[in-house]
Structure 1
Amino acid sequence: MTEKKFVQFSDEQRKAFVGSIKTGKKKREAILEDGMSLEEAFVYAYLDVSRAPLRGIGKCVGDPIKVRNQCISDEIRPFCEKELASVQDEYEFDCAHEKLSEIIREFYRRHHYDGFTVGKTQKWINMALKYACIYDKKDAEMLGHIFGYCHVPIDRYVANPIVLELGVVLPQYDGFKMPKRVTFDAAKCNYSWSKIDNYDAYLTCQKSIREKLHQKHLAKCALEWEFACWLREKEKHI
């Protein structure tokens, strides 16, 4: 039996990014050696969302870890296996992404938490797919199929390059509009990805990212561009 391998990123790239995973040193070493499952990718991605944006969720759902795991096992994993894995182009991926976003939001509404905005679901889904594309051996075939369609996880590190490097307008939300007379700076403008709550505006941004990358020949796909961009921007904040 042929050993499954990581196919989207090199060993060097995987090592460069592993320190960003919110876990201990031994677990990171194990991930480099053995990879992670798709379920684990969604667990680690949830940690990227849950610090400030999901503050207070425990008061609504009771045990947030139990509810998170249930969402992954009952809703997210089956959807990825059945629908996400079968997409044939960017349009179908975008439709599946929107559907999964709404599935997550509705799941949490049923558990008495209505604070899962589009911004939070996009960060969870997109970071999970990024982790999986980098470290998931088991689902490598499926991930290789959708890699070129994946969205950029919009966060504070890539907000500036999206605007300044690509010339793309970020999704707006109540309380925020793109500045017209000054150079955009996510920190100075206090841009909060977690407050994005209009999926059409979010998707317009993702489509524009793809178009600009194609026009400028900066990368083969959005996630490839984001990977290099995110590491570069992170260095500026250390």
Structure 2
Amino acid sequence: MSCILSDKLKEETFIRMYFNPKKENYHYAGLKRAYLDFNRTLPIKDKNITDRQKKIEETISYLNGNLKRLISGDYKNQESFDRAHKKLCEKLIGEWDELSIGQAQKWINMSLKYWLLMGESRIEHIDKNPEFFHIPIDRNVLEKMLGEKNIAWSKMSEYGKYLELQKKHRKKNSGNPPIIDEIKFFNETESV
């Protein structure tokens, strides 16, 4: 028996259910979802919810413009993308000083992952450089993908240490872009 739902309709429904894009703003929806993936690790310094929400919205807007530039850049190799990624992590922390390198990379890398999953038809230029995208580092990736048990991803403060973890995965030479390895890992692995 054939399925009455087309793959396109299934995809669009899953995207709407998970990301809840408003007015077809898929960029914002991916950034917001990525924020929710790490925000539990943020210390709450201010108790004013209105100020906090304003800071979140301003930072999402800032990150949106910078990530659009990142995905549409002309990178000759992994090292040139890595330099742009490092600069963006540092700029993001400069924008919101409560963030660590671990939290900044998680927000950036999960946003790129979500945008990639949404596809080129929704996120222009997302298919231009995905072979250079970094894997989002979190507890599952650290322990089960990289074999690192004593690193708190959300407290990572040195970009060099973070980049060592990316390079450790790249040395596996799976034949896939790293982000594809991470997506497969996510689909096949139970959470810690």
Q: TM-score, normalised by structure 2?
A: 0.80
CA deviation profile, 1:174-230 (whole Å, cap 9, x unmatched): xxxxxxxxxxxx4xx5x4210111001111221221122x2xxx3411110001112
| 1:105 alignment partner in structure 2 | 93
Using the TM superposition, give the Cα deviation of residue 132 of structure 1 relative to its aligned residue in structure 2, in angstroms.
0.5
| 1:27 alignment partner in structure 2 | 17
Q: Could you tell me which amino acid in structure 2 is paired with residue 155 of structure 1?
A: D
Q: Could you tell me which amino acid in structure 2 is paired with residue 85 of structure 1?
A: S
Distance change >3 Å, CA 29–CA 81, structure 1 → 2: closer
Structure 1: unaligned runs, 5 residues or longer: 1-10, 110-114, 165-169, 171-185
CA-atom RMSD, angstroms?
2.9
Asked whether the equivalents of residues 161 and 229 of structure 1 are also in contact (C-alpha less than 8 Å), the reply is: no
| 1:85 alignment partner in structure 2 | 72
| 2:177 alignment partner in structure 1 | 221
* 3-state SS of paired residue (2:122): coil
* 3-state SS of paired residue (1:144): coil
The list of structure 1 runs, each at least 4 consecutive aligned residues, that deviate by more than 6 angstroms after superposition, is none
Using the TM superposition, give the Cα deviation of residue 30 of structure 1 relative to its aligned residue in structure 2, in angstroms.
6.1
Structure 2: unaligned runs, 5 residues or longer: 1-6
Q: Could you tell me which amino acid in structure 2 is paired with residue 125 of structure 1?
A: I
User: Do structure 1's residue 116 and structure 2's residue 79 form an aligned pair?
Assistant: no
CA deviation profile, 1:83-137 (whole Å, cap 9, x unmatched): 441131312211111111111111113xxxxx31100001110001000000143
User: Do structure 1's residue 76 and structure 2's residue 60 form an aligned pair?
Assistant: no
Task: Give me the whole-angstrom Cα distance separating, in 2, the residues matched to 1:58 and 1:41.
Answer: 25
Percent identical pairs in the alignment equals 26
